């Protein structure tokens, strides 16, 4: 065992990379849940985003188009959830599970020709002086652009929910859809847009895994990240900045356990590999006592009787 | 303008008809998918649904129907109890794995002793393994209000790591030339879940599945606890006034579904699979969710749905071999089925009416 081989600067830099897919998916789901909808299909949308982004990047040679395609694929898949829950009034839990099961199958089907291929590298930020700074450079100024997008998105969602009229309407729909409907807001339309935003974010998160974090395509490669993102929204009490904090915490656990595996610690690999899931459970236990900040209409379907 | 009117009572006719319509719709949509993949859709659909039952090699495939259907039915019966009461155990895959590990572990502990009591002990150990794994989310939900969906699902990944760990370590075959995986229980008579009648596919797991169907039917229709489960799902407020204790229901529903999933794992590992290995689990725990919904959460419905889903597994394998249909296509096919089912359920609860449009 050689713990000195672990470089703290690289550790923090890779922690941020590991956290980004969770963050992207969690921010998307946070908006969905703020609108009063519980979409358990995050894992399915992520994995479809992962393969869509991967395939388009490989075919076009451009990660930019890949990420766009991933967001579009996630949003399209989320439309299936819209049809089920907003139009057909189906149970949201069951519909979300259906989305995940379907997405896992669909991604495996789409990804058949892409196993074992290496995608073109995504360009990283390179600012002449700043990126070369000793400690600060690798941590703050030399990541790929999507990582910064994730942080920017967190800020944008926070500001939009807190300061804009759009955010207020979204929250109203999530707290009491009947009152929002009575005020003349289009509950179904607003929820549809929120669900599509969530799908696009999940798709981006998935593509981040297949294009940057791993980067490769294997079946079922998201391995529960979508579910961890769902847990993270609860952890964050539906607050964007706490989602960022939580994502970095989970990213940290993942990276540390991978580093410990590499350093050959005397704990068996399997026990290290299960640690992110166990910590998710632990965090859920600690934080689930307080549910006061959950949107009041979460998981309830809306049907205008008139 | 077309509007949806909520029915005062869910339609009984549509409630029974939707699974059939959903299967038909899935066949059509699936056919289109297969056509996109460059296969003849009619040939593919008939390979999946006709070949295993009435084709040339049906004598081989028909018993497989029971072998593949039994774990699906066992797990889905357990899940349906919770789903009815709004208790969502979606980690049956993990409970299935833990049942298999505990059951096989108990059996292998006796190796090479030859005794009649070994298999019953394994059955109990398997059920206990699944039960304990399901009691984790149940206990956390009762004690701390933790979301059982997320916890039970996280435990699937933990169980998968456990499976990898024991197949490489604790339960690894000492005479296996270093290959991962346990001793083969099929060649250890006292622990082997053999066919009860040769050539029928009938093993103890199939018997357990039928018993579970009857048990669930009696529970839901003739027993107070079953009534409470239905009441909680259909009228939560009324259930509260009737004095239903949510904690008891959560512990019972999760515990029962865990025990049944554990049993399914034990019967699988000691019979058709034969050994604990890294790729022992094939997703029965997740497919069982589809089975539970397709069977309308009703025991008899689940029996039929489980057999149908087993058919798609077997037919899918045949189509894989003879038509080169990718395995993932069957997974998509099964996912579609759940989609159509949930979407068509609209007709059970709502009436489609045409009204003159008015100013809102």
* Complex confidence, ipTM: 0.84
Name the strand (E) or helix (H) holding A9.
helix A8-34
Q: How confident is the model at residue A205 (pLDDT cuts 50, 70, 90)?
A: very high
Q: How many CB atoms lie within 10 A of CB A35?
A: 29
Q: How many CB atoms lie within 10 A of CB A4?
A: 7
Tell me the C-alpha distance between A177 and A89, whole Å. 14
* pLDDT value of position A30: 92
Name the strand (E) or helix (H) holding B4.
strand B2-6
User: Would the CB atoms of B338 and A109 count as touching at under 8 Å?
Assistant: no
A125/chain B closest Cα distance in angstroms? 35
* Residues ≥6 apart with Cβ < 8 Å to B102: B125, B126, B128, B129, B130, B262, B266
In the predicted structure, residue B360 carries a pLDDT above the cut 60 = no
Give SS3 for A124. Answer: strand
The answer to whether A2 and A41 are in contact (CB under 8 A) is: no
A108/chain B closest Cα distance in angstroms? 6
| DSSP letter string, B335-356 | HHHHHHHHHHTHHHHEEEEE--
Any chain A CB within 8 A of the CB of B282?
A: no
Q: What is the mean pLDDT of residues A190-202?
A: 92
In the predicted structure, residue B359 carries a pLDDT above the cut 60 = no
Tell me the C-alpha distance between B194 and B272, whole Å. 8
Kindly tell me the sign of the dihedral angle through the C-alpha atoms of B21, B23, B25, B28.
Answer: negative
Q: What confidence tens digit (pLDDT) does each residue in A251-277 have?
A: 888 888 887 877 777 777 888 888 888
Q: What is the mean pLDDT of residues A231-256?
A: 86
Kindly tell me the sign of the dihedral angle through the C-alpha atoms of B209, B211, B215, B217.
Answer: positive
Give SS3 for B3. Answer: strand
Name the strand (E) or helix (H) holding B5.
strand B2-6
B206/chain A closest Cα distance in angstroms? 26
Q: How far is CA B90 from the centre of its chain?
A: 10
Q: What is the mean pLDDT of residues A10-34?
A: 88
B326/chain A closest Cα distance in angstroms? 7
- Domain borders along chain A are 3-119+141-287
Q: How many CB pairs under 8 A join A and B?
A: 136
What CATH class is the domain A3-119+141-287? mainly alpha
* pLDDT value of position A27: 93
Average confidence score pLDDT of chain A: 84
Tell me the C-alpha distance between B4 and B46, whole Å. 36
Q: How many CB atoms lie within 10 A of CB A169?
A: 17
In the predicted structure, residue A147 carries a pLDDT above the cut 90 = no
Tell me the C-alpha distance between B305 and B20, whole Å. 10
In the predicted structure, residue A1 carries a pLDDT above the cut 60 = no
The answer to whether B261 and B285 are in contact (CB under 8 A) is: yes
Paired residues of B353 in beta bridges: B3
Q: How far is CA B277 from the centre of its chain?
A: 20
In the predicted structure, residue A49 carries a pLDDT above the cut 70 = yes
User: Would the CB atoms of A88 and B289 count as touching at under 8 Å?
Assistant: no
In the predicted structure, residue B212 carries a pLDDT above the cut 70 = yes
Q: How many CB atoms lie within 10 A of CB A259?
A: 19
Tell me the C-alpha distance between B144 and B323, whole Å. 52
In the predicted structure, residue A133 carries a pLDDT above the cut 80 = no
Tell me the C-alpha distance between A48 and A51, whole Å. 5
Any chain A CB within 8 A of the CB of B332?
A: yes
Give SS3 for B6. Answer: strand
Q: What confidence tens digit (pLDDT) does each residue in B119-162 have?
A: 888 899 999 999 999 999 999 988 888 888 889 988 999 999 89
* pLDDT value of position B358: 58
The CA R_g of chain A, rounded to the nearest whole Å, is 20
Average confidence score pLDDT of chain B: 85
* pLDDT value of position B30: 86
B39: exposed, middle or buried (Cβ count in 10 Å: 0-12, 13-18, 19+): buried
Residues from chain B contacting residue A289 (CB–CB below 8 Å)? 144-145
Choose the closest CB to B345 out of A90, A219, A285. Answer: A90
């Amino acid at each position: 065992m050689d713990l000195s081989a672990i470089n703290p600067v690289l550790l923090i830099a890779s922690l941020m990379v590991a956290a980004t897919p969770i963050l992207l998916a969690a921010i998307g789901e946070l908006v969905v849940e703020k609108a009063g909808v519980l979409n358990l299909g995050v894992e399915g949308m992520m994995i479809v985003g992962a393969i869509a982004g991967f395939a388009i990047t490989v075919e076009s040679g451009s990660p930019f188009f890949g990420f766009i395609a991933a967001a579009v694929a996630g949003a399209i898949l989320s439309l299936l959830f819209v049809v089920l829950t907003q139009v057909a009034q189906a149970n949201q839990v069951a519909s979300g599970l259906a989305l995940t099961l379907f997405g896992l199958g669909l991604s495996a089907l789409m990804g058949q020709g892409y196993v074992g291929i290496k995608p073109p590298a995504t360009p990283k930020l390179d600012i002449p002086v700043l990126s070369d700074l000793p400690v600060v450079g690798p941590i703050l100024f030399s990541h790929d652009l999507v990582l910064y997008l994730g942080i920017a998105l967190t800020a944008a969602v926070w500001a939009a929910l807190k300061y804009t009229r759009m955010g207020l309407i979204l929250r109203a729909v999530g707290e009491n859809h009947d009152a929002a409907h009575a005020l003349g807001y289009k509950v179904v339309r607003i929820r549809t847009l929120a669900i599509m935003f969530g799908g696009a974010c999940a798709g981006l998160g998935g593509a981040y895994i297949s294009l940057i974090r791993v980067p490769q395509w294997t079946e079922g490669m998201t391995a529960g990240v979508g579910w961890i993102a769902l847990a993270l929204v609860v952890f964050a009490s539906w607050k964007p900045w706490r989602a960022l904090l939580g994502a970095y915490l989970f990213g940290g656990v993942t990276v540390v356990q991978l580093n410990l595996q590499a350093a050959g610690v005397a704990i068996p690999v399997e026990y290290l590999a299960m640690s992110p899931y166990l910590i998710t459970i632990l965090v859920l236990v600690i934080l689930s006592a307080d549910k006061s900040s959950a949107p009041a209409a979460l998981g309830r379907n809306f049907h205008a009787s008139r | 303008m077309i509007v949806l009117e909520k029915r005062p009572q869910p339609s009984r006719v549509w409630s029974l008809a939707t699974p059939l319509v959903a299967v038909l719709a899935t066949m059509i949509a699936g056919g289109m998918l297969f056509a996109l993949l460059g296969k003849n859709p009619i040939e593919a659909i008939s390979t999946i649904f006709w070949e295993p039952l009435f084709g040339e090699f049906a004598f081989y495939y028909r018993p497989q129907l029971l072998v593949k259907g039994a774990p699906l039915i066992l797990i889905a019966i357990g899940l349906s109890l919770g789903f009815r009461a709004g208790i969502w155990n979606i980690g049956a895959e993990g409970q299935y794995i833990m049942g298999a590990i505990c059951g096989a572990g108990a059996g292998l502990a006796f190796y090479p002793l030859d005794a009649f009591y070994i298999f019953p002990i394994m059955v109990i150990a398997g059920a206990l393994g699944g039960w304990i794994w399901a009691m984790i989310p149940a206990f956390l939900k009762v004690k701390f209000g933790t979301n059982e969906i997320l916890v039970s699902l996280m435990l699937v990944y933990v169980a998968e790591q456990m499976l990898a760990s024991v197949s490489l370590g604790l339960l690894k075959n000492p005479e296996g030339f270093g290959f991962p995986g346990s001793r083969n229980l099929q060649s250890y008579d006292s622990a082997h879940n053999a066919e009860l009648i040769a050539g029928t596919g009938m093993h103890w797991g199939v018997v357990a599945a039928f018993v579970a169907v009857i048990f669930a039917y009696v529970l839901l229709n003739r027993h107070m606890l079953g009534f409470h489960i239905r009441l909680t799902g259909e009228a939560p407020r009324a259930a509260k006034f009737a004095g239903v204790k949510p904690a008891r229901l959560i512990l019972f529903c999760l515990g029962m579904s865990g025990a049944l999933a554990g049993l399914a794992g034990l019967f699988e590992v000691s019979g058709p699979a034969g050994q604990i290995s890294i790729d022992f689990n094939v997703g029965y725990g997740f497919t069982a969710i589809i089975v539970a919904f397709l069977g309308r959460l009703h025991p008899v419905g689940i029996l039929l749905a489980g057999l149908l889903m087993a058919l798609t597994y077997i037919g899918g394998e045949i189509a894989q071999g003879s038509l080169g249909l990718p395995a993932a296509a069957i997974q998509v096919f099964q996912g579609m089925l759940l989609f159509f089912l949930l979407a068509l359920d609209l007709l059970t609860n709502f009436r489609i009416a045409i009204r003159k449009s008015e100013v809102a």
